[in-house]
Amino acid sequence: MLDIVLIIRAIHNIMLELDIITTVIFMEKLEKYTKTTYALALVLIVAGISLIAMVEEYQQTGIGLVNIGTIVIFITFVKARRYRNGPVKDERTIKIGAYGLSYSWLITFVLISLLFWIDEFEITQLTVKQVLAILMITMPVTAKGIQWYLFRKGDIE
């Protein structure tokens, strides 16, 4: 019996070490991602400023590049700040993520059925592009929306 307890403790310690190693690898990748993204954003901003200053015909493009670079810097800053202590991986977070994706899948499935009946009864004409756009917007919006709601609600029963 004592051997089983020692084996379980050893496995538990190995799992903790692996979790620490995984967190360290994640943090190294996050740091590399952050540096690379900041560099890319600065290149976009410099290219945009150069276009604005040197080529009169491409001023709108230059303004767009400056805006894109600024947005990339902002998003990278927010992501780096959010995950500076590593990813949040507890049972509640994993459970909420799974429930959010499950509900999103169900809503998307119901939407596909609804789109089928709209086409079958010829209520409106939808192109393939329109249907795909509706589905591609519905899936992530419902997943994140439901996950946000469940996080605000609290624990899942």
* Chain position carrying tokens 């459970």: 95
Confidence of residue 56 (pLDDT cuts 50, 70, 90): confident
Report the alpha-carbon angle 120-113-146, nearest 5.
150
What percentage of the chain has pLDDT greater than the value 70? 79
pLDDT of 9 reads 58
pLDDT of 49 reads 92
Q: What tokens does 103 get?
A: 């509900």
Domain end (from 32, 64, 82): 82
pLDDT of 42 reads 94
Same domain assignment for residues 41 and 73: yes
Domain end (from 82, 103, 127): 82
Same domain assignment for residues 101 and 78: no
Higher pLDDT among residues 53 and 156, named by residue: 53
Decide if pLDDT at 1 tops 50: no
pLDDT of 124 reads 94
Higher pLDDT among residues 7 and 45, named by residue: 45
Q: Which residues contact 86 (CB under 8 A, 6 or more apart)?
A: 23, 26, 27
Same domain assignment for residues 109 and 75: no
Parent domain of 126: 91-153
Same domain assignment for residues 109 and 144: yes
Q: Model confidence over 89-145: pLDDT tens digits?
A: 777 888 888 888 899 999 999 999 999 999 999 999 999 999 999 999 999 999 999
Number of domains in the chain: 2
Domain end (from 42, 61, 82): 82
Using a 10 angstrom Cβ sphere, with 0-12 exposed, 13-18 middle and 19 or more buried, the burial of residue 7 is exposed
The residue ranges of DSSP E strands in the chain, in sequence order, are none
Average pLDDT over residues 45-73: 89
